Amino acid sequence: MVGQCNDKVLLNALTKLSTSFSTLKGEDYYESICRYVIENFGFEYSFVAKMDESASGMNVVSGWAKDKPMTTFNYTIKGTPCENAIAYDFIVYPNGIQKEFPKDIFLKKMNIEAYAGIVISNKDQEPIGIFAAISSKPIDNSKLTESILKLYSGFISSEMQRYSVEQRTDDLKSIAYYDPLTKLPNRLLITDRIRRAIANQKKDKKIVAICLMDLDGFKDVNDSLGHDAGDYVLVAVSRRIENIIRPEDTLARLGGDEFVIVLTDIDTSEHAAKVLQRILNSVASQYSYKHKLINSISASIGVSIYPEDDSDDDTLIRHADQAMYKAKENGKNQFYFFDTKEHVKVKANFKALKKIEKAIENGEFELYFQPKLSAYNLQIESLEVLSRWNHPVLGVLAPNEFLPLIENDELIYKFDEWVVRESLLSMQKFKKNDIDISLAVNISPKQFQQNTFAQKIKEIAADMDIDYSYFHNMEIEITENSALESITHTNQTIQELNKLGISFALDDFGTGYSSLTHLKELNINTIKIDRSFVSDMLQNSHDMAIVNAIISLSKVFQIEVVAEGAESIEELLMLLDFGCDSVQGYTIAKPMDYDNFVKYIKSYTPDPRLRIVSKNLPRRGDFELLLAESNHKYWMELVVDSIRRRNLEEAPHLSHETCRLGKWLKNNGKKYFSKLDSFNELVVIHKTIHKEVNIIMDLLEKNGYDNSEIYIEKIITLKDELISVIKKLKKEYSKDKR
């Protein structure tokens, strides 16, 4: 077609520019023009080249070679026809070109005959490139060729300028939005991608997984093999992940060894988990850098799932980051899903804590009092202090509504301190009201485990200027588990506070991990059988056996036993019959506020039905006294025998304070029998026995066994006297009960 010249041809060429080529850009645009030139004007090769910065070289950026796109290449302008095209703006060599430019090896190699070239200029008319068409056949219509090339060169030059601005903008954008090392989107771009993924989710109802990945072992690679090796790993990790995720997903590098993966178009978190497992496996496979194998890399990934976690892009990344730390904590090379429910709880908890703190300050808490019935006289001798929150909207709230929220927080210290102070104040008020009663105060495990606990109690007492005698009426209830956390600490604290007169009870006994050994080791005075055993006791023989066993156990260790949760008279009767020292429960009375408690105690009379069992009471007192009595008799008989056998070593030396009867007299004897006349008689005779026996043994040791029969007689008389006083005491006691 070379040689034809008419307006129609030009018009066609122009139409092409404004239609088919109009949507193309840069290299694609040039290529289409070159192709059009070749297919319509008989050339074999056509190309667009850009002048390099030195102006001495050309980079072919696009072109068409016979029937396919031209591969790009660079050449030096000097000695080529292009040199003249630039010099003259346009040049055409219709034939014999090789002779004109003998040094141009391309012309020779491609067996070129004709050449037409036109300069591409910028808006300042400076050359920036060239547009050329070449042929192995001579050109017979140079005019048409010139017209065509001129027509196109104008368009090519404006596109070249426009495109270079766009590219520069792209470069700038790329610096702003892409990580130069891995070429991945950076932090700026990823938030935009997450926002878009969230917007799409709203349309397609799928879920979006925002995964924050941090490499494990990356620092070691950097430190041992250098930063180049580190960079290599980062790029390799990026490529591996890109091969696993789909084009619609996004992988971004936040910096350092932190990446974000946004998985879209997934239905469930299990689906995300599968992809993440593949990523973990892939990242943890070995790397080879400069013939060195790297095996120490793996990844920890934290995941937040939208819309389950209905947060904004920044928060979703932050939540994924928190979950990532969990994955690290749990041993690395794994993923961990952010726990939305847990988070909501923590947030709610924080709010609740603030409210409770305010409520303490506003005086919204109040102490309630629940009586404990003493098995020995069926009177109310003690009570348990229980806290209530008078919530302005919700009404009176029980501890299970607020304690779980604060018991692991520092706020519990403030709360416990309030309870102790308030209890001491109540004691003063009771005293003023002529109510002689012991208070059992609950202390939280966290507070009790503080090394400073005993000190704190003393500080409170000092601050309140409280009379220390009040402490003799105070018992502190600690839970089994908190007592066992450190037996040494527990015993030290108990001992220190025992000195003030405070006694200790082990609460909720049976629910923790106490064993017989522990009970022996702990210096506690009382155990409280947990309500759960008591409430089921009548229906469940196991529970009944447990209650019975705990009571027997407490007798062996000489520990007082309280049962809580007696809701019916039958339960109460049974507990008394088993030998409980005291009982607490709704059947006696529910916890009540101060005023109601005062009214209650002032008008208290024992339930007449309790008289049935009270006749047999006190089981425990009888038992202990029996044990002490027989123990003492046995010891005295041993002394007599050892004298008869003339071997005093066979009988132990016992003091009136440390023998079993002596202990009983000091503790439960004093507590429950001291009102009886014969009790003092017993104290006196008991003391006399020990004194006399000691004198006799000393005399025998010093003077020999000559008068031993007189001494034996004396001891037997004392023993009989003791037995008769004990008999009298028991008689008096049962009379007193009726």
Query: Which residues of this protein are in contact with ligand C2E, per CB under 6 A?
Result: 370, 386-387, 398-400, 403, 416, 419, 442-444, 477, 507-508, 531, 564-567, 584-586, 591
Distance in Å, CB of 259 to ligand C2E, minimum = 47
For residues 587 and 576, what is the distance between their CA atoms, to the nearest angstrom? Answer: 13
Query: Which listed option, Mg ion, ligand C2E, none, makes contact with residue 730 (CB within 5 to 8 Å by class)?
Result: none
Distance in Å, CB of 388 to ligand C2E, minimum = 7
Distance in Å, CB of 201 to ligand C2E, minimum = 45
Q: How far is CA 672 from CA 436, 584, 666, 734, 737, in A?
A: 16, 19, 11, 12, 11
Selected range binding Mg ion among 53-61, 332-340, 391-399, 476-484, rule: CB under 5 A: 476-484
For residues 310 and 224, what is the distance between their CA atoms, to the nearest angstrom? Answer: 42
Identify which of residues 153 and 447 has a Cβ nearer to ligand C2E in the complex.
Answer: 447
Identify which of residues 69 and 445 has a Cβ nearer to Mg ion in the complex.
Answer: 445
Q: How many CB atoms lie within 10 A of CB 693?
A: 22
Selected range binding Mg ion among 329-337, 390-398, 505-513, 652-660, rule: CB under 5 A: 505-513
Identify which of residues 419 and 715 has a Cβ nearer to ligand C2E in the complex.
Answer: 419
Distance in Å, CB of 576 to ligand C2E, minimum = 15
Query: Which listed option, ligand C2E, Mg ion, none, makes contact with residue 398 (CB within 5 to 8 Å by class)?
Result: ligand C2E
Identify which of residues 249 and 507 has a Cβ nearer to ligand C2E in the complex.
Answer: 507
Identify which of residues 586 and 623 has a Cβ nearer to ligand C2E in the complex.
Answer: 586
Identify which of residues 249 and 560 has a Cβ nearer to Mg ion in the complex.
Answer: 560
Single out the residue of 159, 216, 480, 508 in contact with Mg ion (rule: CB under 5 A).
Answer: 508
Selected range binding Mg ion among 185-193, 506-514, 642-650, 678-686, rule: CB under 5 A: 506-514
Q: Is the peptide bond before 307 cis (omega within 30 degrees of 0)?
A: yes
Alpha helices, DSSP H, located in 527-603: 531-536, 541-556, 569-578, 594-602
Query: Which listed option, Mg ion, ligand C2E, none, makes contact with residue 585 (CB within 5 to 8 Å by class)?
Result: ligand C2E
Selected range binding Mg ion among 30-38, 77-85, 507-515, 602-610, rule: CB under 5 A: 507-515
* Contact yes or no for 508/524 (Cβ under 8 A): no
Query: Which listed option, ligand C2E, Mg ion, none, makes contact with residue 586 (CB within 5 to 8 Å by class)?
Result: ligand C2E
Identify which of residues 250 and 442 has a Cβ nearer to Mg ion in the complex.
Answer: 442
Interaction of residue 416 with Mg ion, rule CB under 5 A: no
Contacts of residue 170, defined as CB under 8 A and 6 or more positions apart, other chains included, come to: none
Cα distance from N-terminal residue to C-terminal residue, the chain: 138
Strand order across the beta sheet in which 250-255 lies: 250-255, 258-266, 207-216, 298-306, 335-337
Single out the residue of 214, 321, 477, 480 in contact with Mg ion (rule: CB under 5 A).
Answer: 477
Identify which of residues 311 and 370 has a Cβ nearer to ligand C2E in the complex.
Answer: 370
Distance in Å, CB of 737 to ligand C2E, minimum = 26
Identify which of residues 299 and 589 has a Cβ nearer to ligand C2E in the complex.
Answer: 589
Identify which of residues 309 and 480 has a Cβ nearer to Mg ion in the complex.
Answer: 480
* Contact yes or no for 523/504 (Cβ under 8 A): yes
Of the candidates 620, 715, 634, the residue with the CA atom closest to the CA atom of residue 664: 620
- At residue 402, the 3 state secondary structure works out as coil
* Contact yes or no for 449/485 (Cβ under 8 A): yes
Distance in Å, CB of 644 to ligand C2E, minimum = 56
In b/e form, how buried is each residue of 478-514, taking b as 16+ CB within 10 angstroms? bbbebbbeeeebbbebbeebbebebbbbbbbbbebeb
Q: In this structure, what is the dihedral angle of CA atoms 194, 199, 204, 209, given to the nearest 10 degrees?
A: 20
Distance in Å, CB of 283 to ligand C2E, minimum = 49
Query: Which listed option, Mg ion, ligand C2E, none, makes contact with residue 117 (CB within 5 to 8 Å by class)?
Result: none
Selected range binding Mg ion among 123-131, 167-175, 423-431, 500-508, rule: CB under 5 A: 500-508
Q: Is the peptide bond before 445 cis (omega within 30 degrees of 0)?
A: no
For residues 173 and 104, what is the distance between their CA atoms, to the nearest angstrom? Answer: 40
- At residue 511, the 3 state secondary structure works out as coil
Element (H, E) at 439: strand 438-442
Identify which of residues 46 and 442 has a Cβ nearer to Mg ion in the complex.
Answer: 442
Of the candidates 160, 47, 146, 151, the residue with the CA atom closest to the CA atom of residue 88: 146
Angle at 427 between CA 422 and CA 433, to 5 degrees: 125
- At residue 374, the 3 state secondary structure works out as strand
| Site track 93-112 with Mg ion (rule: CB under 5 A), x = hit | --------------------
For residues 680 and 678, what is the distance between their CA atoms, to the nearest angstrom? Answer: 5
Identify which of residues 447 and 678 has a Cβ nearer to ligand C2E in the complex.
Answer: 447
Query: Which listed option, Mg ion, ligand C2E, none, makes contact with residue 159 (CB within 5 to 8 Å by class)?
Result: none
- At residue 521, the 3 state secondary structure works out as helix
Percentages (nearest 5) of helix, strand, coil residues in the chain: 55, 20, 25
Of the candidates 129, 152, 121, the residue with the CA atom closest to the CA atom of residue 43: 152
| Site track 435-464 with Mg ion (rule: CB under 5 A), x = hit | -------x----------------------
Distance in Å, CB of 265 to ligand C2E, minimum = 51
For residues 473 and 315, what is the distance between their CA atoms, to the nearest angstrom? Answer: 55
Distance in Å, CB of 353 to ligand C2E, minimum = 16
Beta strand pairing status for 74-76 and 114-121? Answer: unpaired
Identify which of residues 609 and 646 has a Cβ nearer to ligand C2E in the complex.
Answer: 609
Single out the residue of 44, 416, 507, 560 in contact with Mg ion (rule: CB under 5 A).
Answer: 507
Query: Which listed option, ligand C2E, Mg ion, none, makes contact with residue 619 (CB within 5 to 8 Å by class)?
Result: none
Please give the residue ranges that form the binding site for Mg ion (CB under 5 A).
Answer: 442, 477, 507-508
